[in-house]
Structure 1
Amino acid sequence: MAVQLDQRLLEILACPSPDHAPLRVGSPDDPGADALTCTSCGRSFPVVDGVPVLLLDEATEPGGAPPDEK
């Protein structure tokens, strides 16, 4: 199911990486994924129960690499 966020909220949200680029709905491989993807670095951030998890440790790197385990 695709992410359903208020358009005004989506315009405010930005990637937490230093460049703070805008986010778009979906992932590169699945536009309907429950994720937000950075338009600059390509990281995908999960959306859990309608809440974006904008933590770099939880992001999926471009190319589908999962976050590093610590």
Structure 2
Amino acid sequence: MSIIYDILLKSPNPLHITEIIAQAKQDFSVDLDRESIASALSKKVRSRRMFKKVAPNTFAILDSSSEKIS
């Protein structure tokens, strides 16, 4: 999740899962499995932690003001 967080943190806009995977390959030389990443991101979104879904398969970092406190 830290790679995805770093990618989204650097992006001025939300990114589609395809863009996240491409950026991970380019910046970190890591191959991410689309289904695994989509599932992991969706779990974080449902628990209101770290990420928010802004469109189908498109994610952004959750604003700290709206982040769930554990």
TM superposition score category, shorter chain reference: under 0.3
TM normalised by structure 2 equals: 0.28
Greater relative CO, 1 or 2 (CA 8 Å, sep 6+): 2
Q: Which has the higher strand share?
A: 1
